[in-house]
Amino acid sequence: MLGVAYGMYSIIRHRAQPLTRGHSPADAKPVPPGTEYASVRELGEQMAKPNGLTSVDLVSYLQARIRQLDPQLRSIIETNPEALASARALDRERANGNVRGPLHGVPILLKDTIETTGMQTSAGAFGLVGAAADKNAPLVDYLIEQGAVILGKTNMTELAGFRGGPDGWSSRGGQTRNPYKHDADVGGSSSGSAAAVAAGLAPLAVGAETNGSIIVPAALNGVVGLKPSLGLLDRNGIIPASQRQDTPGPMARSVYDVALMLNAMSGSDPRDPESLGAPQGIDYTQLLVPDALKGKRIGYPETFTANGENLPVENSTLFRKTLQVLREQGAILVPVNLRLADASRYGEVLLSDVKEALNGYLAKRTGLPVKSLTELIKFNEDRDGTVADHQPVLEEVSAATLTSAQRKTLWDELIQDFRSTVDDPINAQNLDAMVSDVDSNTYFGVAIAGYPGITVPSGTNDDGLPTGAYFFGTRWTEPTLLAMAYGYEQAAQATTQPEL
């Protein structure tokens, strides 16, 4: 689904609830202070108590919080008018002894690329605002089956960066702000998902990534974000960019909650060639234990790139602290000289993929103002004028000329090259995984390889902005990465909350 590498290119709401002040329903009770930052486990415990917290209480409280705070953050592009009705139905089920799972009655936000019945799926673009999708993306149905309440859709970088514009900005949703500091980088393209979770507007959100679009905003907004292995999750019903890169992924405030989301979202598409060999039926919380790091062999890059210079890792004070925490928890740390693969043609081949994928999606989607990339560009020109350079990347996409056969050859070479940059050191040093941070840009190559990565809060920098530790490994190693991230998270205790 749409989501371009971070920094690579620097209406009417359909049945949407307006983000204005309103009143709580009569059946909603006040919730305890701090509920906005409660974990899924804590929410479940409160809901299990007689006369305790209900889903209606929680949804009503978060809706009021959205109305109060989000006009400044612009993290949510549309709220679900059926959220309270869903919460009431789930409360009745709980009262009758039927609890679907850990997410029963828990609100969740979805990125605006994920098809949701009764709501827009526009990727932040007015050109894609029209009739709602006629069915949910499969992963939305999976979440609903597990009892999640769809709270709304999140703002994002328009067309996930493939229009061209600031990270976190869309013509439909405006500029998403970093809740820690409104003029700080919010990252893209799952900007709204990360910012909303960080601001306590929802405990959970689903993002989507082609390259960097989950990992970067999660790190910059101080939340946990997992970019799964390519093909682990069903990708149907999500506005695409490249089938060789796209994946949805969970975002939350803790590793445990991300693992619970991954459990609920799991289900690959047997028709998707990338899902061949994808593990199924795994409980991703099983390895989340206190001593998860003990004896694990973790590689880390010997050098970091900062301000255009290749510097020893000792020059990164924050990353040294990450390594110290890992070492104190019994991890065996191994310095690795990470080879940089050749990405010189990555942009060319990716934009050609986007051209084919976006044209194919628009041609099949009914009830939209446009049916092709050419029509979308003209729609934007008619709406916004032609004087300003307001869609430079979209025009590059339209001008792409590589054929399907040419792209396949280039992709095969690119992917193999980038996979070897991860595989070789892990195999040579018998490593369980690798660790770095977002500043090292290692997420870029990991995404091209189709490999998994997870970012976990590691504290704040001198400007008071969140930083993250980034764990990555080879394909299908999500259980190991989640375990390591959990062990680090529990030891570091580095998660913070913004002062809103």
* Catalytic residue positions, numbered: 111, 189, 213
Structure tokens at 77: 């592009």
What is the C-alpha separation between 485 and 492, in angstroms, rounded? 10
CB 148 within 8 A of CB 103: yes
CB 205 within 8 A of CB 196: yes
Structure tokens at 308: 């255009």
* Residues 6+ positions from 270 with CB-CB distance below 8 Å: none
Structure tokens at 149: 């309440």
Give, in degrees to the nearest 5, the angle at Cα 311 between 308 and 316. Answer: 105
One-letter identity of residue 186: V
300, with CB counted inside 10 A (0-12, 13-18, 19+), is: buried
Structure tokens at 473: 């490994």
What is the C-alpha separation between 305 and 302, in angstroms, rounded? 10
428, with CB counted inside 10 A (0-12, 13-18, 19+), is: exposed
What is the C-alpha separation between 87 and 148, in angstroms, rounded? 9
